[in-house]
Amino acid sequence: MDRYRINVDNVDADAAQGFVDPTTIYQYIEAGETPANYANSLAKSRAHHRHKSIIMAIQFYSGLNVVDVVPVNSDVDAPLTRVRYIVEIENINSVSVEDETNPGTMLTGTDAVQRIVARVLTRTWTRALEVFDPTTAVARGNTTPYARTGPRVVNDTIGPVYANLTAAEAAVSVSNDAG
């Protein structure tokens, strides 16, 4: 079984533009970090949904098995620098996808994997997301602010991280991971 490393860089992303994050907001909270505001929490929920979509695309469209995910510079209130997916496959050259930028052409191997991930980074979804709301509010009949500790479910549009495949592919690298 060969191992490959897929790096997804978030260096051009910000919370408003979008990014990828494998850590849920609740995992950050369990580690002692609470988002500073609702906007940061919403951005992290969107980023985690993108991460789950990348995992699904990698495994469904390529047959790769994701064996590890490594977030780089993980912080509850900021985009990560990079997310690294470690994957395994018998034969990387068995992965192929059509190249929509060059009709009639197929991409194979690491180029195909790069395109599969890049497609996710350019998609837009509308989903119901569970978002932790750390803002304070005044309870009815009480003047003492309290922190909300439960989730809020919102219907939200999760936009792309990158505007086009060229930009997305520049942020994705696929290489052999010898160990």
| Per-residue model confidence (pLDDT) at position 155 | 92
| Per-residue model confidence (pLDDT) at position 147 | 58
CA 40 – CA 120 distance, rounded (Å): 21
**Which of 144, 123, 142, 147 is closest to 46 using CA atoms?**
123
CA 87 – CA 127 distance, rounded (Å): 27
CA 100 – CA 61 distance, rounded (Å): 15
Q: Contact at 8 Å (CB) between 21 and 42?
A: no
CA 37 – CA 119 distance, rounded (Å): 30
| Per-residue model confidence (pLDDT) at position 136 | 73
| Per-residue model confidence (pLDDT) at position 61 | 85
| Per-residue model confidence (pLDDT) at position 124 | 92
Going residue by residue through the chain, which has 179 residues, state the pLDDT in tens, using 9 for 90 and above. 899 999 999 865 665 668 899 999 999 999 999 999 989 999 999 999 999 999 999 998 888 899 999 998 888 998 888 999 999 998 999 999 999 999 999 999 999 999 999 999 999 989 899 999 888 766 666 666 665 566 889 999 998 998 899 999 999 999 998 75
Q: Which two tokens stand for residue 47?
A: 């980023």
Q: Which two tokens stand for residue 130?
A: 């569970």
